[in-house]
Structures are given as structure tokens and as C-alpha cells.
Amino acid sequence: MNGIDKDIVLLASLASKEIRSELLPLIKEEFQHLSVAAQSFSKLLFPLLEKTPPEENLDPWSVAQLAGDLTDRERKNLEELIRSFLQLKDSSIKAYLESVYARIRKRRLALSLEHIISREHTITDEDLDKILNDLQKLVQLRLHRLKPRRASDFDPNKLLKEELGEMSGLPCHFQPFNEKLSLGGFLPGELVVVAAAPSRGKSMWMINEAIHAASLGYKVLYIALGDMMFTDLIARLLAVWHTREAWIKDPAILLHYQEEPQSFFQHPFYQAYSTKSILQNFEKLHRNAKAVLDRIYLEVDAPGKVSVEDIRRTIQSIPEHIHMIIVDYDSNLRAYSDVLYERGNEVYEALASLARPKNELPRVVLVGSQIKPEFWSLEEVPLQALAESSRKQAVADLIITIGRDLQDLNYHQGKVSIVKNRRGPVTSERYVLFPTGVFYPKKMILNEFINQLRNQTNNQLDPDPALGAAVSENLN
């Protein structure tokens, strides 16, 4: 900087309105640690800043003239530096601010250590507490720079685009819930918890969401942490997709359920799409669903191996924007803390940051979770079934619970509930979980359900025609 005092250059950068809005409060806090020349400069500069509207830059020549004992050459150089600050764009401004924060952190740390070292006695607990407190302040140095704006200053259309990205609302696969969700579906940036007892349908619910989102053209990352293999996961995806497509083409399959529910699960269609049948026809069914599967990225790993930070790095390696992330399930994520509350707080705060990343478009994050054992037998699972020690109740934007009717185990039915909805009402709906893994809302009229499924799905693909023909033949 051609011999000019670094603190004077720092003060001169306040001529930029963007830099000034971030650094002025911090520099005022640092006043006593500035050089003598910079303190003299600031006494002339600060009154000028107070008179200048926040949305205006300062004139480089006027600011340079306020600097004290500079040669003409140094003053000219300072003026040119100020002009360069005024020309910085977003990424360059951010880099400059980071360099200033780093410099101030180092200075504060040095002052703290000098204070301890200069004292001629053994370091006490009080000394260590001071160092730890100073270090904590250094970490938080730039975290609380609030810049309030008038509510009337926002452009509604620009705000929606910036905060919601290209999605206005990603519809839930379970149609009755869309009436309760903001903008008819999940909002980008929402953290959604799907909670239930073991074997109640958590994974199948999220697989339905993956297929539904992919059918609408969205990109999905599904991470299974547990005992599932890729073959299991893909077979379930295929079963759900082919079932949905077959219902659209031939609603009579569903009509059979309404007329003869007791014999419904023996229907040939569901035998055709059983796990055994899918594995026997795996290559063909996989090929038929390729366009939808192209939009779903899969990862399978053992419990305790994957952290949220690992997921973040994985997303950055994918060459297209991911609209929905599914994590199955939360307790299998790796965390650094062994304390239950701290561990849950770490995981859920990190998942929320995954949904609302800085400098990226937001996305929907779904995470599976297990409820407390004393609630396993309930058909309608309440909010208190989720352990608060994990912080999921506080951090999640939306919590969905799945319960099962245990009075009749011939087929899988029960209630699925929204027990927390940050942007709308709670609700509970009866469902049937079909053998192929699709959730059907019991209250919906058949034609209404099929029409909404048809309208929501980007229906460019056909299920296996051979299996479709066999089903129709059996129905006739």
C-alpha cells in the first residue's frame, strides 16, 4: 500500500457504502487500538460519515484530503485506493471484509495474549477463562451485523425469486396435505421431519416423496443410512413409480380396492409389483422408469459414517441443483458430540443450514426420525412423541407423524398427521399403505384422487406394458 498506514487505508475504505454498512460499527469498537495517525484521521472522517446518507458513496478526493501527514504522492495513492474500493463487486467486497475480520481477530488475540504474558505470575483459572471468552468473541466477530430494512422496501416478486428460487411450492405426494401447506406444497428452505415407530412407513413415505418430486421434474438426493442396499432402494422406487403410473392408466385397479378391500392385497396387480416380481423383471422395469430415475441421486452407507458436512460436500459435487434432500434417518448421522442434547442440536442445526445454505438456492430437506417407544402403539401420533432432547421439535419447520391401526393387521392403514406446521394449520388424515408402497388417502373419492395424481405428474412414461396388459386381462 505504498507505505500508507494500514489503519488509514481501512478507514478510507469506509467511503464505499457497502463496506461502510458492514465495518463502521466494528471500526468504532476498535478505535482505541488504531494507530495514532488513524485516530486523528477518524476524528475528521466520522463526522463526514454521519452526514452522508447510507446509500451514497463518499468522494475519494474529499476523503483523501482528511488524512493527516501524507506526502502528495501518498495522498494521491490513497485517493486511487479509495476509487478501487468503490469499484469492488459482491465477491470482491466479501473477500475484502473477510481479510479485515481476520486482521482484527489476530489483533484482538495478540492483545489478549500480551495481557497474560506480561504478568509475572502463574496463569490462573481466571486468566484461562478470559482467554476462552476472548476466543469466543473472536469466533462471533462478524455474526451479528444486523441490517434492518423497511418492510415496504421489498419487491415481492424479487423476494420470492431470491428466497424460494425456481420452486414456488413442491407438492407433497399425499394430496390432502397440500391444502394445509404454504403455496400448495413444501417450501424451499423447509426442514421436514417424518417420524414414526419402526415398520410404520417412514422410508416408504420418503420414497413416495422422491418419486413424486422426480415425476414433476425436480432433482432429488436420497441418502439411506442403515441396512438397506441399493437393490432394495431402487426396487421400492420402481414399485411406487409403476403403481402410480398404472393407476393413472387404469383406475379400475383402485376401484377393486373400494369394492372388495378384504381381498384387495391378493389382486394380481400387486402380485406383479411385489418385491419378488420386481427383482425378477429388474432390468426391464428399471429401463422403463429411466427418465424419472435420472432425476434421483442415491447413496447408501452404514450408520454413523456420514455427517451433514459430508452431505454438503456431496451436493457440491453434483453438477445440477438439488431441489430435495432425503436423509433416512437422523440418529444414523455422524455427530461430533456424545452428549444427547448437544448431538441432536448439532445435527438439526446442520440439517437446517443444508435446507437454507448461504449464497445458494434453498431446497427442501426431509429427514426420517423414530418416536419414543411409549407412543409406538398409537394410531395418531402426537408432537410430544418426538424427543425434545434432539431439538427436532424446535428446529423443524414441518413435522409429519405416521401411526398404524393395530386392530386389523390384514392390511396397513392408520393416520398420518401434520403435528407441527410453521406456516399453516395442523391436520390428521386416514391412509392405506398399499403392498407396493404407495400411500392412498382414504377420504378421497377415487376419480378425484386419480385426476389430481394425473395433473401433478409429468406423465411422459408408461409402466411395463406387458404387466399392464396382464392386469387388465385379470380385471376383465
In angstroms, the CA 213 to CA 291 distance is 13
Which pLDDT score, from 0 to 100, does residue 142 have? 55
For residue 258, what pLDDT band results from cuts at 50, 70 and 90? low
- Top mean pLDDT of 3-12, 124-133, 155-164, 375-384 is at 375-384
pLDDT above 70 covers what percent of the chain? 80
Checking if the pLDDT of 462 tops 70, the result is no
Checking if the pLDDT of 470 tops 70, the result is no
Which pLDDT score, from 0 to 100, does residue 389 have? 58
Checking if the pLDDT of 251 tops 80, the result is no
- Secondary structure in 3-state letters for 20-51: HHHHHHHHHHCHHHCCHHHHHHHHHHHHHHHH
Average pLDDT of the segment spanning 250-273: 66
Out of 89-93, 273-277, 398-402, 469-473, which region has the weakest mean confidence (pLDDT)?
Answer: 469-473
Checking if the pLDDT of 93 tops 70, the result is yes
For residue 456, what pLDDT band results from cuts at 50, 70 and 90? low
Helices (H), 320-364: 340-355
User: How confident is the prediction for the chain on average, in pLDDT?
Assistant: 83
Across the strands, what pairs with 225?
A: 301
Q: What is the pLDDT of residues 424-440, one digit of tens each?
A: 999 999 998 988 889 98
Which pLDDT score, from 0 to 100, does residue 138 have? 59
pLDDT above 90 covers what percent of the chain? 38
Q: What is the DSSP pairing of strand 324-328 with strand 191-196? A: unpaired
Which pLDDT score, from 0 to 100, does residue 464 have? 41
Which pLDDT score, from 0 to 100, does residue 417 have? 98
For residue 463, what pLDDT band results from cuts at 50, 70 and 90? very low
Question: Considering Cα of 383, then 386, then 389, then 392, what sign does the dihedral take?
Answer: negative
- Taking alpha carbons only, the member of 259, 321, 258, 265 closest to residue 295 is 321
Which residues, including other chains, have CB under 8 Å from residue 14's CB and lie 6 or more apart? 20, 23, 24, 27, 45, 49, 58
Which pLDDT score, from 0 to 100, does residue 261 have? 59
Checking if the pLDDT of 67 tops 50, the result is yes
More confident residue, 254 or 33: 33
Q: What are phi and psi of 401, to 5 degrees?
A: -120, 150
Q: What is the pLDDT of residues 307-330, one digit of tens each?
A: 898 999 899 899 999 999 999 988
pTM flag (> 0.75): no
User: Strand order of the sheet with strand 412-421?
Assistant: 296-301, 220-225, 324-328, 364-370, 191-196, 398-404, 412-421, 427-433, 439-441
Question: Considering Cα of 313, then 318, then 322, then 325, what sign does the dihedral take?
Answer: negative
Q: What is the pLDDT of residues 172-220, one digit of tens each?
A: 999 999 989 988 899 999 999 999 999 999 999 999 999 999 999 999 9
Q: What are phi and psi of 123, to 5 degrees?
A: -65, 125
Which pLDDT score, from 0 to 100, does residue 394 have? 86
CA distances from 116 to 103, 121, 136, 137 (A): 20, 9, 17, 17
More confident residue, 265 or 174: 174
Q: What is the pLDDT of residues 212-244, one digit of tens each?
A: 999 999 999 999 998 889 999 999 999 999 888
In angstroms, the CA 204 to CA 202 distance is 6
First CA to last CA distance, the chain: 87
Which pLDDT score, from 0 to 100, does residue 425 have? 95
